[in-house]
Structure formats: C-alpha cells, structure tokens
C-alpha cells in the first residue's frame, strides 16, 4: 500500500475529510495520511480507539512517535491524555489500549536505529518560548541532529518571512488556520513539504501546529 509515499513530492491532506478505515483489530480505526507498506513500514496516521478497544502487544521495529489529540491512550507505561507527546524508540514493545476511547496522531518507522530516547512530554505544562518573529511561540519536543519537533503557536495576524527547508518540513494543524502562498490549511490538515521547498506562512486567525523539520532527505 502506498499513500503519499514519494518523499520528493509535496502532500496536503485534510484529515477531517477522510473516511475512517478499520484496522486489523476491532474498535481501532485509521485515517491514513502517509503510508509505504501494508501493516509494516513507514506510516503517518490519525488513529481512533473506541472505548474498551486495544491493540495486541507488538514491537516497534522502526520506532513510534505520537501526540494524543483527544481522550486517554494507555499502555504498560502509563495513561496519556490530550496533549501528551510520546516517543518509543526502535525495538520498544507495548500493548496499547483505551478505556474511554481516544484519537492520536501517530508516526511509525521514521526513527534512526540509534535514536534510543524515550520521551514523555505533557504539552499542557511544558514551557512556551518566544519564536523567531513577533506573535509566534515555540515549545521544543525533541531534537536530534538536524531533526527538530516542536509545537508552534501563531497569534492572529502573525507572519513568517519567506524561508526554505533544506531537509523538509511536516505540519499538522492542531487548532486554527495557517496559510501560505500555496493555500489555506484549517484544523486537521497535514502538510509535508519536501527537502528544498520554500514558503511564506502566515495566520490571519491564529493557529497551533505540530511541526517537524530536518527529517526528509532528498531521495533520488
């Protein structure tokens, strides 16, 4: 299965317009944003757990990164409510479930083999720092080499200067609306701009974003 699998191409998906697709396990459904493989391989997905549903115990051969969007997601290591950012490294194992139901943004098979750090950050409590321009705040979630993961909060009327992303950029609009010269992106929109791309983003209404940069190498 290939969905937006070419990392050299720009991809824009409004996840809230996608149908929920059943997973192999009852009560677990997905909105597939990016996929290269069937049930194993690179994937970026919105996943919904019905109350009382669970996934069987499994190993994350390529690592797992997720942000809880709604509800409470649980495994042997704890209960993770809205706003929890989690990284489970290559080789980690767990048996996830949700007692009351939840929705999470998940990235699989996108970690370097030697990235062994477990990360647990409650973004409701972590510190916002001044961003690169007025009206923009940043919350750092993870940094390793060129790869950086952050939350970005843009106040209404804020704008960024035109800039490029030598190693690409990925955005999930968590709240509000972000825009650039290519389009307008409301809550739920996932954007992947390839290595070497450039844009001039702004937000008339204000927005909160998940942003990852430095992780999309040019593929020949």
pLDDT in tens, 63-80: 999 999 999 999 999 999
**Chain centroid to CA 18: how far?**
16
Count CB-CB contacts under 10 A for residue 192. Answer: 22
Cα separations in angstroms, 137 against 102, 150, 179 = 27, 10, 17
pLDDT score at 217: 75
Confidence band (pLDDT; 50, 70, 90) for 40? Answer: confident
Q: Under a CB-based contact definition with an 8 Å cutoff, are residues 73 and 105 in contact?
A: no
| Rounded mean pLDDT, 52-69 | 92
User: In the chain, what are the domain boundaries?
Assistant: 2-122, 129-213
Q: What is the pLDDT of residue 56?
A: 85
As assigned by CATH, the class of the 129-213 domain is: mainly beta
Residue of 208, 188, 215, 207 lying closest to 48 (CA atoms): 188
Q: Determine how many CB atoms are found less than 10 A away from the CB of residue 211.
A: 17
What pLDDT, in 10s, does the model give residues 79-125?
999 999 999 999 899 999 999 999 999 999 999 888 889 999 999 99
**CATH class held by domain 2-122:** mainly beta
Does residue 139 carry a pLDDT above 90?
A: yes
* Residue 1 CB contacts under 8 Å (≥ 6 apart), including other chains: 35, 36, 37, 38
pLDDT for residue 39 is more than 80: no
pLDDT at 18: 98
- Residue given tokens 């943004």 in the structure block: 105
Determine the straight-line distance between the first and last CA of the chain, rounded to whole angstroms. Answer: 21
Q: Please list the residues that pair with 31 across neighbouring strands.
A: 46
pLDDT of residue 218: 59
Q: Can you give the chain as a three-state secondary structure string?
A: CEECCCCCCCEEEEHHHCCCEECCCCCEEEEEEEEECCCCCEEEEEEEECCCEECCCEEECCCEEEEEEEECEEECCEEECCCEEEEECCCEEECCEECCCEEEEEEECCCCCCCCCCEEEECCCCCCEECCCCCEEEEEEEEECCEEEEEEEECCCEECCCEEECCCEEEEEEEEEEEECCEEEECCEEEEECCCEEECCEECCCEEEEEEECCCCCCC
Is residue 176 over pLDDT 60? yes
pLDDT band at 171, cuts 50/70/90? very high
Q: pTM of the prediction?
A: 0.96
**Listed residue (97, 96, 110) closest to 44, CA to CA:** 110
Predicted local distance difference test score (pLDDT) of residue 33: 98
% of the chain residues with pLDDT over 70? 98
Residue 132's pLDDT is 92
pLDDT at 219: 52
**Identical fold between 2-122 and 129-213:** yes
Mean confidence (pLDDT) of the chain: 94
Q: Looking at residues 37-49, what average pLDDT do you find?
A: 88
Task: Please give the share of the chain, as a percent, with pLDDT higher than 90.
Answer: 87
């Amino acid at each position: 299965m290939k969905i937006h699998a070419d990392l050299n191409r720009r991809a824009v998906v409004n996840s809230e317009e996608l149908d929920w697709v059943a997973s192999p396990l009852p009560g677990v459904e997905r909105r597939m944003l990016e996929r290269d493989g069937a049930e194993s391989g690179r994937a970026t997905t919105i996943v919904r757990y019905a109350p009382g549903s669970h996934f069987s115990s499994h190993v994350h051969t390529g690592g797992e990164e997720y942000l809880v969007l709604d509800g409470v997601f649980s495994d042997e290591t704890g209960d993770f409510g809205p706003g929890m950012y989690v990284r489970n490294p290559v080789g980690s194992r767990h048996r996830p479930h949700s007692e009351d139901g939840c929705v999470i943004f998940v990235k699989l098979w996108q970690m370097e083999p030697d990235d062994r750090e477990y990360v647990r950050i409650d973004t409701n409590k972590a510190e916002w720092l001044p961003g690169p321009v007025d009206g923009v705040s940043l919350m750092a979630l993870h940094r390793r080499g060129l790869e950086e993961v952050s939350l970005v909060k843009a106040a209404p009327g804020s704008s960024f200067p035109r800039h490029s992303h030598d190693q690409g950029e990925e955005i999930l609009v968590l709240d509000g609306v972000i825009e650039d010269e290519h389009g307008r992106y409301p809550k739920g929109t996932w954007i992947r701009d390839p290595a070497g791309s450039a844009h001039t983003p702004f937000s008339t209404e204000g927005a909160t974003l998940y942003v990852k940069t430095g992780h999309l190498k040019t593929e020949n």
